[in-house]
Amino acid sequence: MSETVGSQRLAVRVAGRESGDVAAAARERADAPVVEAGSTGVPGVEPLLAASDGDETTFYANATPADAEAVADALAGDGALPDGDATVDTADAAALPLPDLDGFGAERSVLARCGWIAPTNPDAYADAVGFTDADPDAVVESAGGVLGRGWGDWSADEPVGPLWEGVRERDGSPAVVVNAHGNPGDALLGESDPFSVLEGAAHVARVVDAVQVFVYVSEDDEAARDALTAAADAYPDFPVDVSVVEGPAAYRAAEPTMAIEAVEGNHRLEARLRPPGPEVEGVFGEPTVVHTARTVAHVAAAVRGEPTDSRVLSVTGDADEATLELTADDALDTALDAAGVSDYTGVLVGGRFGGLTTDLDVTPTPDALDAADLGTDGVLEVLGPDACPVAFVGKRAQFAEDANCGRCVPCREGSKQLTELLRDVYEGSLDRPKIDELMRVMESSSVCAFGQHAPRPVRTGLQEFAEEFEAHAQGTCPAGQCLSDATGEEPARAKP
């Protein structure tokens, strides 16, 4: 199979979307195999052309068909490879050799194959790591301690083993929902390494003796949907029925019970009451395991015997988007350095409703993030040097107001009142006790994690940027973003 590269000496790879023309140009000239890989997680450099010659790979960022032709000619023996943007020793043909370019980081474990192998070719995956067919007890033994990743995981920050045991012991026809909705890390794995996602899901399905696996994606993540669908069709002997299900792109739709509602085909998504959770009554009332794509990819890695304490993180916001990996010992600022971000007002750590901070000397483990009042959803949203933190947290409260499911009062009405209380700051009223009381009640009494976490940007922002809030109450915006001038005129509208 020409797409399979394996250990061949010469190869051309083109990673990322919009890479078809580049790959076609290379195919026209080259005798060497040309692989179209999925995204590397660093869309800013894509299409990324990688020319491997022996033990060395040269990368060409934002490659054009002309670049591809030049590289193909060189590999065919007509001269030396053109100068690239980075050159790396390639010892391991199974993993992307990390180029010294912004956004790639220093190590990759579950992301190792993203942007390197043909994502939907089972032979490529088999060559790279191989499909593992471990028996259920061995899976529990090796992967039961993996911590669930992401806000869409029903065992977020908890070991997955006890969840599986509960479902395994319960009567019924269990289901597994792989929640690949929304988070850029989950979408990247779905797009670029769908077999590792499906392999992890197969392990979980065997452990709980599931009758059905649903892979749930956002309708906006077409590349992930297509890759996961193709991989599910091509998967050798997937143990149970597997189907890829689309849900609406809205952020709330990734909440675990809303994911189940979407899988069931409900036209309007709403959080379900709990307890009991999906492990007791999930898809069509059957016991159900809900894990994110990141979680099951880590499960697959654990079964292969690889370490699983690394963390997939995505840098977003006022920065070039990049999804990379940190070890449990790396501080978060390592990720920003790797993404080429050096100047910022603050970073919202841990998803849409993460914590706002300037102190990034925190490791990405749930315990450390929790101690720092930060979120664990693996997104580092950068507020650039000119950004106003007061406007930012206000807009985040407004997002909670606009994007909640509408079910429970503390979230639906609380987020509306929280937004109003923050607007009042612009009128000179900063009522901390009233804001704190409201946030406490939203956190303690909302039905799901959406409402429970929605106040966190505000709470942490008030703490980290107390002076900026006071200044706004006095009629000035230190960042100059919110108020046209200090004369007390009408505040200018911030950019959406």
Partner 1 sequence: MSSHEPEPHSEFDVPPLTETIAPGTASDPDVTSAETATVTVDGQEVEVEAGSTLLDAVEEVETDEYVPALCHYDRQDIGPRSECRTCMVETDEGVVPACSTPAEDGLDVSTDAAPASEARDVNLDLVLSDHNLRCTTCGKNGRCDLQDVSIENDVEEPRYGVLDDRDEYEPIDDTSDFIQIDRNKCILCNRCVEACNDVQVEGVLRMEGHGGDTRIGFQNGSDTMEGSTCVSCGHCVTVCPTGSLVEKGIEDATTIPLPGFNQKNSVGKVVESADVEKGPMTPMKRDQVTETTRETGGDEERDWP
Question: What is the size of the binding site for partner 1 (CB under 8 A)?
Answer: 70
Query: By CB under 8 A, is residue 55 in contact with partner 1?
Result: no
Query: By CB under 8 A, is residue 265 in contact with partner 1?
Result: yes
Write down the least CB distance from residue 267 to partner 1, Å: 5
Residue with tokens 């002309």: 66
For partner 1, the binding residue among 93, 224, 408, 462 (CB under 8 A) is 408
| 353, 156 contact by CB (below 8 A) | no
Query: Binding string, 268-307, against partner 1, x = CB under 8 A?
Result: xxxxxxxxxx--xx--xx----------------------
For partner 1, the binding residue among 243, 463, 474, 484 (CB under 8 A) is 243
Query: By CB under 8 A, is residue 441 in contact with partner 1?
Result: yes
State the Cα–Cα distance between residues 359 and 345, nearest whole angstrom.
11
Does residue 405 sit in helix, strand or coil? Answer: coil
Is the CB of 168 or the CB of 423 nearer to partner 1? Answer: 423
Task: Tell me the backbone φ, ψ of residue 195, rounded to 5 degrees.
Answer: -65, -30
Q: For residue 495, count CB atoms less than 10 angstroms from its CB and return exposed for 0-12, middle for 13-18, buried for 19 or more.
A: exposed
Token pair of 446 as six digits:
């909302």
DSSP string, 38-76: ---S-GGG-SEEEEEETTEEEEETT--HHHHHHHHHHHT
For partner 1, the binding residue among 24, 81, 126, 245 (CB under 8 A) is 245
State the Cα–Cα distance between residues 278 and 219, nearest whole angstrom.
23
Is the CB of 168 or the CB of 412 nearer to partner 1? Answer: 412
For residues 319-346, one letter each, b for 16 or more C-beta atoms within 10 angstroms of the residue's C-beta and e for the rest, the string is bbbbbbbbbeebbbbbbbbbbebeebbb
State the Cα–Cα distance between residues 492 and 490, nearest whole angstrom.
6
| Contacts of partner 1 in 447-476 (CB under 8 A) | 447
Query: By CB under 8 A, is residue 477 in contact with partner 1?
Result: no
Write down the least CB distance from residue 401 to partner 1, Å: 6
End-to-end CA distance of the chain: 49
Query: Binding string, 203-242, against partner 1, x = CB under 8 A?
Result: -----------x----x-----------------------
Q: Looking at 17-25, 50-58, 246-254, 295-303, which segment touches partner 1 (CB under 8 A)?
A: 246-254
Is the CB of 102 or the CB of 281 nearer to partner 1? Answer: 281
Query: By CB under 8 A, is residue 478 in contact with partner 1?
Result: no
Label residue 77 left, alpha or beta by phi (over 0 means left) and psi (-120 to 50 means alpha): left
Is the CB of 251 or the CB of 465 nearer to partner 1? Answer: 251
| 483, 391 contact by CB (below 8 A) | no
Is the CB of 208 or the CB of 447 nearer to partner 1? Answer: 447
Q: Looking at 26-34, 134-142, 340-348, 441-449, which segment touches partner 1 (CB under 8 A)?
A: 441-449
| 117, 50 contact by CB (below 8 A) | no
Residue with tokens 């009758």: 211
| 147, 158 contact by CB (below 8 A) | yes
For partner 1, the binding residue among 78, 130, 440, 489 (CB under 8 A) is 440
For partner 1, the binding residue among 309, 362, 423, 473 (CB under 8 A) is 423
Write down the least CB distance from residue 269 to partner 1, Å: 7
For partner 1, the binding residue among 130, 162, 406, 428 (CB under 8 A) is 406
State the Cα–Cα distance between residues 271 and 278, nearest whole angstrom.
11
Judged by the rule CB under 8 A, the positions of this chain that interact with partner 1 are 214, 219, 243, 245, 247-252, 257, 261, 263-277, 280-281, 284-285, 391, 394-395, 398-399, 401-410, 412-417, 420, 422-423, 426, 434, 437-438, 440-441, 444-447, 482, 491, 493-494, 496
